[in-house]
């Protein structure tokens, strides 16, 4: 995002081909990722003969590498020429490694390719966010990030649906291989955005040094900005726990286990659909008011969602819980990215995006691990109450989200 412009040329001038292409890249990439991910449990356990522990280890290592690679991707994306290459190669690397899982014959091969895909995904994230901010003005950054998040959530709906339709025709291996197609389209889309972003940048930009710039970020108040975000992510549970809880609530209400599992998955698809709309709403709210308002609304939705999952019963609780959680994630994720873009100077912005990615990954992993232990040892009510407490704290501390003056 350039520092000079303060307003859009036309009411719809923010929606350029470049901004649309970033959203398209997120849509296509997540479609391919979800195609493979939805089939991964059955592939690892049914085709390769692994167990639940192997699947958990594969995803646990991949998630940890994502956070570290996002942190590393911040300094790498600081230089404009390098960020374009990083964004393109990151999307292509994710596509190739994800599709390559369909060719594997051993669990260790799946683990390596999954790790490569997630490292590529992490490295590209700050670069993509910087490309997007290069394409926007201060008055439109919320809508741009809202559109990108909407594209990502829309891919999370289409990917499993495509996998479900294709696996009966082509089989598991070929369906995973076919995930290369949307992944390649994502690489093409981000290339369009990179080309437009390069044209908006001034020439003669100094070469950025490879450093985390923590001292400079601290002077600009990044820790104040990330405090509410950290509290939010410490309560941001994995969607698998929501699906599991929804299934339990339905079984407890007399549903057959198979029907309950199917209904929970459909409700989760609805959750992603709600997230598409709430991300777009968050963009509008951020630009017209502030990212603080969108973030607070998102945190409040999660408090209500987790209390519903903790103490509700039957299909009504499942539907309400997923709707609230979908609204919360669309609102909060958009606000988190927008407030970082607005709170840090152009020189340090890519480093801040990398730090944001680390906070999100580590917080999400910690939230899910702790909640899982509380669920197993005590009760699911305590687990969701624990997560709701973190969300409430993030809501209270949301006043710390203060963008830099224009």
Asked if residue 159 and residue 102 are part of one domain, the reply reads yes
Asked if residue 386 and residue 239 are part of one domain, the reply reads yes
Domain boundary among 200, 231, 258: 200
Q: Which two tokens stand for residue 373?
A: 């232990």
Asked if residue 91 belongs to a domain, the reply is yes
Asked if residue 375 and residue 279 are part of one domain, the reply reads yes
Q: Is 58 exposed, middle or buried (0-12, 13-18, 19+ CB in 10 A)?
A: buried
Asked if residue 108 and residue 34 are part of one domain, the reply reads yes
Task: Report pLDDT for 51.
Answer: 76
Task: Give the rounded distance of the alpha carbon of 155 from its chain centre.
Answer: 11
Asked if residue 270 and residue 228 are part of one domain, the reply reads yes
Q: Decide: 347 and 77 in contact? Cβ < 8 Å.
A: no
**Residue 56 binned pLDDT confidence (cut-offs 50, 70, 90):** low
Q: What angle do CA 327, 165, 171 make, to 5 degrees?
A: 125
pLDDT tens-digit map of 82-112: 889 999 999 999 999 999 999 999 999 999 9
Asked if residue 246 and residue 194 are part of one domain, the reply reads no
Asked if residue 244 and residue 120 are part of one domain, the reply reads no
Asked if residue 7 belongs to a domain, the reply is no
| Of the candidates 13, 17, 21, the residue with the CA atom closest to the CA atom of residue 190 | 21
Q: Which CATH number do you get for residue 340? A: 1.20.1250.20
What is the end-to-end Cα distance of the chain in Å, rounded? 13
pLDDT tens-digit map of 198-249: 887 655 455 556 677 888 888 988 999 999 999 999 999 888 789 889 989 9
Asked if residue 11 belongs to a domain, the reply is no
CB contact set of 1 (below 8 Å; sequence gap of 6+): 133, 134, 135, 136, 137, 138, 141, 341, 346, 349
Task: Report pLDDT for 9.
Answer: 43
Cα(146)–Cα(228) distance, rounded to whole angstroms?
A: 19
Asked if residue 205 belongs to a domain, the reply is no
- Average predicted confidence (pLDDT) for the chain: 89
Domain boundary among 165, 200, 235: 200
| Of the candidates 281, 289, 284, 247, the residue with the CA atom closest to the CA atom of residue 267 | 247
Task: Report pLDDT for 10.
Answer: 42
Q: Domain containing 224: what range?
A: 211-406
Asked if residue 1 belongs to a domain, the reply is no
Q: Decide: 152 and 36 in contact? Cβ < 8 Å.
A: no
CA atoms within 13 A on the CB side of 164: 10
Task: Report pLDDT for 308.
Answer: 97
C-alpha pair distances (Å), 298 with each of 192, 278, 309:
32, 9, 16
Task: Report pLDDT for 311.
Answer: 96
Q: Which two tokens stand for residue 165?
A: 């339709």
Q: Which two tokens stand for residue 188?
A: 């093409």
Task: Report pLDDT for 7.
Answer: 41
């Amino acid at each position: 995002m350039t520092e000079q412009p303060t307003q859009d040329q036309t009411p719809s001038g923010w929606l350029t081909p470049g901004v649309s292409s970033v959203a398209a890249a997120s849509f296509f990439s997540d479609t391919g990722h979800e195609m493979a991910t939805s089939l991964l449990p059955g592939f690892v356990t049914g085709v390769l003969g692994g167990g639940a522990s192997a699947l958990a280890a594969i995803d646990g290592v991949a998630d940890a590498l994502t956070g570290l690679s996002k942190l590393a991707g911040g300094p790498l994306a600081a230089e404009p020429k390098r960020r374009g290459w990083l964004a393109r190669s990151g999307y292509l690397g994710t596509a190739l490694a994800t599709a390559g899982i369909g060719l594997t014959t051993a669990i260790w091969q799946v683990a390596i390719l999954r790790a490569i895909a997630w490292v590529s995904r992490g490295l590209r994230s700050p670069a993509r966010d910087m490309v997007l901010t290069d394409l926007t003005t201060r008055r439109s950054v919320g809508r741009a990030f809202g559109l990108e998040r909407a594209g990502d959530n829309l891919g999370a709906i289409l990917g499993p649906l495509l996998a479900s339709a294709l696996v009966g025709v082509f089989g598991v291996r070929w369906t995973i291989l076919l995930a290369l197609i949307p992944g390649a389209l994502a690489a093409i889309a981000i290339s369009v955005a990179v080309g437009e972003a390069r044209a908006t940048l001034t020439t003669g930009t100094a070469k950025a040094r490879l450093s985390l710039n923590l001292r400079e970020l601290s002077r600009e108040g990044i820790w104040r900005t990330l405090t509410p975000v950290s509290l939010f992510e410490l309560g941001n549970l994995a969607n698998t726990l929501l699906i599991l809880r929804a299934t339990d609530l339905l079984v407890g209400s007399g549903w057959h286990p198979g029907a309950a599992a199917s209904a929970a998955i459909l409700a989760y698809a609805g959750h992603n659909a709600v997230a598409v709309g709430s991300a777009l709403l968050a963009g509008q709210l951020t630009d017209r008011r502030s990212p603080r308002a969108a973030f607070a609304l998102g945190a409040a939705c999660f408090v209500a969602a987790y209390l519903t999952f903790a103490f509700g019963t039957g299909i009504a609780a499942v539907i309400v819980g997923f709707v609230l959680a979908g609204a919360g994630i669309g609102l909060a994720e958009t606000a988190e990215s927008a407030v970082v873009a607005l709170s840090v100077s152009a020189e340090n912005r890519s480093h801040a995006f990398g730090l944001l990615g680390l906070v999100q990954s580590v917080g999400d992993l910690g939230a899910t691990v702790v909640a899982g232990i509380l669920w197993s040892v005590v009760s699911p009510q305590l687990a969701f109450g624990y997560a709701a407490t973190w969300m409430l704290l993030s809501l209270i501390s949301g006043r710390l989200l203060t963008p830099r003056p224009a």
